[in-house]
Structure 1
Amino acid sequence: MKRIPIDPRPDWRERVESVGMLYHTIDDELYWDESACYQFTRREVDTLDLATAELHSLCLQAVEEVIRRNLFSRLCIPEWFVPRIISSWEMDEPSVYGRFDLAWDGSGPPKLLEYNADTPTSLLEASVVQWFWLQDKYPEADQFNSIHEKLISFWERWPYLQRDPVYFICSSGSIEDLGNVEYLRDTSVQGGFATRRLFVEEVGWDHTQRRFVGLEDEPIHTLFKLYPWEWMVRDEFGRYLTEANLRIMEPAWKMVLSTKGILPFLWKLFEGHQNLLQATFEDSPLNGDYVRKPLFSREGSNVEICRGGGVVSTSGSYGSEGYIFQRYSPLPFFDGNYPVIGSWIIDGEPAGIGIREDQTVITTNGSRFVPHYFVEG
């Protein structure tokens, strides 16, 4: 694993915008950054592939354990929603995707920092944006990236193909969320589905028919949401989720994996596993160097690293539901940057990686996406 400074393509803005990435620059700071790239060997890619498949398997076993032992309250999941989660799991409702964030420098086993199981972003850039970059810059090389093909295959094989369109929703205030949703919607169209796009604020509830509806009061039967389950169940319309005849992706059982509380459960079930870091709930703090993370947090908010007697932390609005402690695992350091590898699982299979790097040890919303390729070796 190497970080290599390179010259950006002269027309890189037009190139990334042509495939739907309109958020390459956020608050006048580059988010898509092709002034450098990461080089891997095939052996390193194989290591990431195997680790991702293994972590996916462990997470499915953890869901089974949470359900079997009725541990939902530890994850701040409302009791009234538990039957929906259990039903979703027993029906084996399919999951589209997830992203494991890994600390790894190319040596030893990759370590799981957290699992973005419900609403992962950076999908568009990890899929087609960096793939077209590869074709322009390193056409003879390869890339750990089958995301696009696997997404289309998911829709083609999805067992609920029907005449009713799939509604894709996200909040109206995020151009990044919109870009990811529109990309997923495009893969669904290529997979054979009719689709519609709505903002969360535009979804209505028909009190007479007891169903969710679109802008023209048409019924919504299938919904893909880039909107967290923990927000949905607490929103005004959340109480209707258990009675509506509505198929939702990601499925309800993914709520078990969408909180960092799953990290202590994973450690308890598979203590000492080479891809896991020791983790506990806040009532059992760790000695030595550790990271404190809110059960629900995004973009590195309210994270605290305690190491060597010092503390590094970020601010934010999360933490009211509680925290977990995780053994500190240092990120690699390349040319003043700390990269995190986001390894994608699509339809239950490893599908590729995207790399975000920051100039601080906590990966925040100021991180940049940097493309990669791999060579034989």
Structure 2
Amino acid sequence: MKFINKKKILHYIQKNPGRSRTEISKALSISKPTISKLVDELINEGWFREKESSSSSPSGGRRAFQIYFNHNAKYIVGVDIGGTSVEMAVMNLKGDFKEKVVLSTQEHLSKDLVQIIADNINSLITKSSLENSQIIGAGIGVPGITDVEKGIVFDAPSLGWKHYHLVEKLDNLLPFPVYVDNDVNVAALGEQWKGAGKDKRNILQITLGTGVGCGMIINGQLYRGSSFAAGEIGYMVTDKHAAEEAYDSIFSGYGFLDSHIGGPSITKRMLKHLRTGDEESDDWPAKRIFESAIAGDKNALNIVDDALSHLAFALINVISIVNPECVIIGGGLSKSMHHFLPEIMSTIDKHLPIETSVTITKLDNVSVLGAAYLVLKEHESILQV
């Protein structure tokens, strides 16, 4: 009971800084002597700091002491392993970065990528002037289906990992706990912690890049499914007739929706229209095609409209099942989506009577933040959320 009460007090002050012991007692319905004793313990342990109020009490007595959470009591590490780059950072409990580094994934993949990640984490901790004992743990986001309980990456095509024992390898290299999850799930956690999903309990995170992914937070917690494959909407079929016919699967293992709205699929259709070869794909990234569509290029506009039609119908299907408070669109292609969001919403509103907010992410470093927040979600301690 003592641990539970200390945890209640800690989380209350995290959300309501500057409260007095009396205010905490009233808010949590815990006796004032108990509150005072536990607050003193939390101060001695470094979780809280107190500051004398600038005003006297209403009765004219001595000034109360206000209690604040110490965001620098401990630190966490967030790592986002992407097909193109690996981003990692050390941050405090508020999500403020101490140090950050970005590496090229493909450049280090042929070497020992996990060892390189561990070396860089240790380097970041040293540069932050911290000790390992101050680190609660590291959270890792991986682009693939991941068994979060065993720490095994079942399949990450862009990394060439199959049944890869990631946590076991990192446990041998790092002196603190390591937690791992799918990259879209950690992006959803980032939005829940610091972005458009803050203070919301039912969130859909859609990421648009090479393919399309979906992270689901239901009743405040990640929903991962029976085999950790919930949200793999890249396999969703949004056109029965097109699915029954032969269509180009962009990469082995990618699904129908991936092959119609992913960046490489948009590029491939543009090159096909222009009748140019794949060697020119670097000249026509999806971002350029979106820009051409916005500028009024009819061919680019037709290609983008078709892709966004598939996206809109996919959102209709998922929203109708999950009934989220908000849908947040992120990933590399999201930066090109603002101009087309009204069109997507028009299609959704036409077919779906459920009112749902759909927004483009505004949060930088969302996956790194989410990976760090994964530690706070999974690590069993007084901080666990």
- Normalised by the size of structure 1, how large is the TM-score? 0.26
Higher-helix-fraction structure: 2
Structure showing greater radius of gyration is 2
Determine which structure has greater relative contact order: mean sequence separation of CA pairs < 8 Å that are 6+ residues apart, divided by chain length: 1
Higher-strand-fraction structure: 1
